[in-house]
Amino acid sequence: MAFSLVEIVLAMGIIAFALIVLFALLPVGLKSNTDSIGESQAVNLLQALIADRQSSGYYTNSSVYNLPALTNVTTSSTGTLFIQEDGTTNASPGSARYQVSYTLYPAVYQFAAATNYPATTVPMPVSMDFIVSWPAAATNRASSVETVATFMTQ
């Protein structure tokens, strides 16, 4: 009861086909893993940006990333940060891993019913839209995450 040469060649062909398929899927899995790591790091950076803005006073810029103060915001303003892999800011995109673009939106005033003047004693929400993209030096960034955070002013 031995295998014939045809059976052995056929079995080797099936095994070779299966191995080729497995090896073809390997780069797809590695790219997916790399993308997932980058996205996780970007989400962690977003959390650090929001925590930095929340931990700073309303009248001052944030302490770590120098995000603008939340008071006297009358028009939308934008800014860009370049952040290295370790979370420190950098002035140029050349050695940075992430580019953070943010937009600060002013509070929408609520008017007092009787006087038709803005109700200044009511806390007013100020929104910031954060977009983290990478790599920072690329002109066409293929990867990015975005979130909007709303902060209550006094």
Question: What does the domain layout of the chain look like in residue ranges?
Answer: 5-152
- Residue 131 — very low, low, confident or very high, per pLDDT cuts 50/70/90? very high
Q: What is the pLDDT of residue 9?
A: 95
- Residue 129 — very low, low, confident or very high, per pLDDT cuts 50/70/90? very high
Q: Which residue has the higher pLDDT, 112 or 138?
A: 138
Task: Render pLDDT for 4-26 as a digit per residue (tens, 0 to 9).
Answer: 999 999 999 999 999 999 999 99
Q: Where are the alpha helices (DSSP H) in the chain?
A: 5-55
Contacts of 148 (CB under 8 A, 6+ apart): 127, 128, 129, 130
Least confident range of 16-30, 87-101, 103-117: 103-117
Give 113's DSSP letter: T
Task: Render pLDDT for 36-79 as a digit per residue (tens, 0 to 9).
Answer: 898 899 999 999 999 999 898 888 899 899 999 887 777 888 99
Q: Which residue has the higher pLDDT, 25 or 136?
A: 25
Rounded to an integer, the average pLDDT of 109-121 is 55
pLDDT at residue 114 is higher than 90? no
For 136, phi then psi, to 5°, come to: -65, -35
Q: Is the peptide bond before 123 cis (omega within 30 degrees of 0)?
A: no
- Residue 91 — very low, low, confident or very high, per pLDDT cuts 50/70/90? confident
Name the pairing type of β-strands 125-134 and 89-90.
unpaired
